[in-house]
């Protein structure tokens, strides 16, 4: 698969963004809806080239966290930085993000190609047609000239990914992005995400699947009860080990010290921190 270029736009590593050189940072982020506190002091750092999985049960706040990171939802406390900039004071920082949520965010009456050309024009891309063809080829979207509403759920998901990629972002925020994809499309996406990271892009993916986390990410956090737990490196862990760690963390609470952490951390003696 040809590598999809990642832009190398200006970035101030010594700015207020806290983590030097990080692609996206959340610092002490709180968010509530009415009296329901969905995020409680979330902290996250995604350096260039990283893949982070956010694991959590349905309703845990994974989608809210990603929407905050994408600057689609303002945190009520705390701050977010995208490539060193606060997107609420520097709106252009949002250009560095590609976001895929539960809905494709496409116009059903337009074709995939027409949708992508529209979004490319909104970004002011001078080579819109070439980029649209390239990203459709990359994701295997053959029916790019049919109205989106006529496409299968899996093909609509590919089109949503194309929308998130057409402007070549530096950060991809994916909310259950592999859901609804057939095995070939899921394999193609996982391969692309590996290439994207190899080119310096950062990926943050919300999922409830340990297998998806192992496939896409190099570390994971558990979000439960509004709290985002410490990062767990995934090197050397298979899906069963990640599932065991995830289940233990949800039951004990993201802030709990796992048995492996107390014992010194051998991976075969229990879930690690």
In a domain, 118, yes or no: yes
| Residue 11: pLDDT band with limits 50, 70, 90 | very low
In a domain, 8, yes or no: no
**Phi, psi dihedral angles at 34 (to 5 degrees):** 65, -125
Looking at the 3D structure of the chain, how many domains does it have?
Answer: 1
pLDDT of residue 240: 96
Query: Which residue has 């736009």 as its token pair?
Result: 9
Instruction: Give the contacts of 255 (CB within 8 A, at least 6 positions apart).
Output: 227, 229
Domain span including residue 94: 24-268
Rounded distance, CA 165 to CA 6, Å? 10
- The tokens for 9 are 């736009």
pLDDT of residue 271: 41
In a domain, 19, yes or no: no
Average of per-residue pLDDT across 204-211: 92
Average of per-residue pLDDT across 117-135: 92
Is the pLDDT score of 263 beyond 80?
no
Q: 3-class DSSP state for residue 24?
A: strand
Q: 209-230 b/e with 16+ CB inside 10 Å = b?
A: bbebbbbbbbbbbbbbbbbbbe
Q: What residues are paired with 32 via a beta bridge?
A: 37
State pLDDT tens for residues 153-167: 888 988 999 999 999
In a domain, 155, yes or no: yes
Rounded distance, CA 211 to CA 242, Å? 8
State pLDDT tens for residues 188-199: 888 889 999 999
Burial level of 193, CB count in 10 A (0-12/13-18/19+)?
buried
E-strand stretches of the chain: 24-33, 36-46, 51-55, 77-82, 97-100, 171-175, 202-207, 219-224, 227-228, 232-233
In a domain, 3, yes or no: no
For 9-89, where are the alpha helices, taking DSSP H only? 62-69
Q: To 5 degrees, how large is the angle CA 20–CA 164–CA 144?
A: 155
pTM of structure: 0.86
In a domain, 230, yes or no: yes
Q: Which among 26, 19, 96 has a CA at the least distance from the CA of 62?
A: 26
In a domain, 125, yes or no: yes
In a domain, 100, yes or no: yes
CATH code for the domain of 170? 3.40.50.300
Q: To 5 degrees, how large is the angle CA 215–CA 216–CA 221?
A: 105
Is the pLDDT score of 258 beyond 80?
no
| More confidently predicted of 273 and 11 | 11
Q: Which among 195, 190, 183, 204 has a CA at the least distance from the CA of 50?
A: 204
Is the pLDDT score of 260 beyond 50?
no
């Amino acid at each position: 698969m040809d590598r999809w270029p990642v832009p190398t736009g200006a970035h101030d590593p010594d700015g207020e963004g806290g983590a030097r050189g990080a692609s996206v940072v959340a610092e002490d982020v709180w968010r509530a809806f009415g009296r329901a506190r969905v995020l409680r002091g979330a902290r996250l750092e995604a350096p260039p080239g990283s893949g982070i999985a956010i694991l959590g049960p349905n309703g845990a706040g994974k989608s809210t966290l990603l929407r905050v990171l994408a600057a689609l939802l303002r945190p009520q406390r705390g701050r977010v930085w995208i490539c060193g900039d606060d997107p609420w004071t520097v709106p252009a920082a949002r250009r560095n993000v590609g976001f895929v949520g539960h809905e494709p965010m496409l116009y059903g009456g337009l074709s995939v190609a027409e949708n992508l050309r529209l979004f490319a024009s909104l970004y002011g891309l001078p080579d819109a047609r070439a980029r649209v063809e390239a990203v459709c080829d990359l994701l295997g979207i053959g029916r790019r000239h049919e109205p989106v509403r006529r496409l299968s759920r899996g093909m609509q998901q590919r089109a949503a990914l194309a929308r998130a990629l057409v402007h070549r972002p530096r950060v991809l925020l994916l909310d259950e992005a592999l859901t609804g994809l057939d095995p070939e499309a899921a394999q193609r996406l996982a391969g692309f995400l590996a290439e994207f990271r190899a080119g310096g892009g950062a990926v943050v993916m919300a999922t409830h699947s340990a297998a998806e986390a192992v496939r896409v990410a190099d570390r994971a956090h558990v979000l439960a009860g509004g709290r985002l737990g410490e990062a767990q490196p995934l090197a050397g862990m298979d899906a069963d080990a990640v599932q065991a760690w995830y289940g233990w963390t949800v039951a004990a609470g993201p802030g709990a010290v796992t048995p492996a952490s107390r014992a010194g951390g051998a991976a075969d003696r229990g879930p690690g921190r």
